[in-house]
Amino acid sequence: MSIFNPWVILGFVLAMLSAAAGGYSKGKHDENVRQQVEIAALNAQARETEQNMAKVANTYADTLRKSQNVAKVKETKLRADIATGNLRLSIPTQSSTVCPSTTAASASGSDSGEARTELSGSVSETLISIASEGDAAIRKLNTCIESYETLRNMK
């Protein structure tokens, strides 16, 4: 039996090919297992990050809710004070004539000497509504910005 016998060469080539195919198959399987383990670890990390972000978002939502409730209480008190007459809103006006009592009052320091006009109840209510809506929007925006910055820095 010679080493150059075609059956020996064919047997040797088949042995090499089966060894290569077996190694390739085992390597492919091992790589697949490694990737699955890595994916599972990354998924666990992503779930943990997501839970932390949800906690932060809930904390900011609670803070916003509390500040909105405090503001609502102040607004209700302001509206009640205006309705009962305990508080009156006024705006400065320009006067073409100067009243002698106004100049005397400003000289004594008890009044600024500025002519003022009292706002009606409906105008006061409207002004309070506009201011309250603006304040609420600003609180929401500031909470949103703070929440975004906190979440952005968590990654």
The 10s digit of each residue's pLDDT in 41-53 is: 999 999 999 999 9
Residue ranges in the chain assigned as alpha helix (H): 6-84, 100-108, 121-154
- Residue 92 resides in a domain: yes
Domain presence at residue 1: no
Contacts of 111 (CB under 8 A, 6+ apart): 102, 105
What is the structure's pLDDT at 40? Answer: 96
Domain-embedded: residue 139: yes
According to DSSP, residue 88 is labeled: -
The contacts of residue 106 (CB under 8 Å, 6+ apart) are 112, 113
Q: What is the mean pLDDT of the chain?
A: 85
Q: Is 77 part of a structural domain of the chain?
A: yes
The residue segments making up the domain with residue 83 are: 6-154
pTM of the model: 0.60
Domain count of the fold of the chain: 1
With a cut of 70, which residues of the chain have pLDDT below it?
1, 95-113, 155
